[in-house]
Amino acid sequence: MRKIPFIKKNILLIFASLSLISSSLVQASEEVNVYSYRQAFLVEPLFNKFTEETGIKVNVIFAKKGMAERLAREGKHSPADILLTTGISRLVELHDRDLLQAYSSKTLLDNIPSQYRAKDNSWYALTTRVRNIYSAKHLGAININYEDLADSKYKGKICTRSGKHAYNIALVASMIAAHGEDEALIWLKKFKANLARKPQGNDRGQVQAIHQKLCDISLGNSYYFGKMLTNEKQKIWTDAVYINFPNQDNRGAHVNISGMAMAKFAPNVENAQALMEFLVSKDAQKLYAETNMEYPVRSDVMPSELIASWGKFKADSLPLETIAKHRKEALKLLDQAKFDL
Based on the fold, state whether residues 200 and 329 are members of the same structural domain.
yes
CB atoms inside a 10 Å sphere around CB 5: 9
pLDDT at 179 over 50: yes
Based on the fold, state whether residues 178 and 324 are members of the same structural domain.
yes
Is residue 168 exposed (0-12), middle (13-18) or buried (19+ Cβ within 10 Å)?
buried
Task: With respect to residue 237, please indicate whether it lies within any of the assigned structural domains.
Answer: yes
CA nearest neighbour of 32 among 276, 211, 229, 251: 276
Alpha carbons 49 and 51: distance in angstroms, whole number: 5
Based on the fold, state whether residues 196 and 279 are members of the same structural domain.
no
pLDDT tens profile 98-137: 999 999 999 999 999 999 999 999 999 999 999 999 999 9
The pLDDT, as a whole number, for residue 20 is 34
Based on the fold, state whether residues 168 and 235 are members of the same structural domain.
yes
The pLDDT, as a whole number, for residue 42 is 85
The pLDDT, as a whole number, for residue 27 is 38
Tell me which of 125 and 22 has the higher pLDDT. 125
The pLDDT, as a whole number, for residue 9 is 44
The pLDDT, as a whole number, for residue 40 is 87
The pLDDT, as a whole number, for residue 41 is 86
Give me the number of domains the chain comprises: 2
CATH of the domain at 81: 3.40.190.10
DSSP assignment of 51-77 equals: HHHH--EEEEEE-SS-HHHHHHHHGGG
Based on the fold, state whether residues 302 and 206 are members of the same structural domain.
no
Task: With respect to residue 10, please indicate whether it lies within any of the assigned structural domains.
Answer: no
CA nearest neighbour of 89 among 273, 330, 294, 296: 330
Tell me which of 29 and 289 has the higher pLDDT. 289
Average pLDDT over residues 67-94: 95
Tell me which of 6 and 120 has the higher pLDDT. 120
151: CB partners within 8 A, 6+ apart: 190, 194
Looking at residue 107, its amino acid is: T
Is residue 249 exposed (0-12), middle (13-18) or buried (19+ Cβ within 10 Å)?
exposed
Based on the fold, state whether residues 209 and 286 are members of the same structural domain.
no
pLDDT at 221 over 70: yes
The torsion angles phi and psi of 216, rounded to 5 degrees, stand at -115, -20
Domain range enclosing 204 = 130-252+315-336
- Do 173 and 329 meet the contact criterion of CB atoms below 8 Å apart? yes
CA nearest neighbour of 264 among 71, 33, 31, 70: 71
Based on the fold, state whether residues 246 and 266 are members of the same structural domain.
no
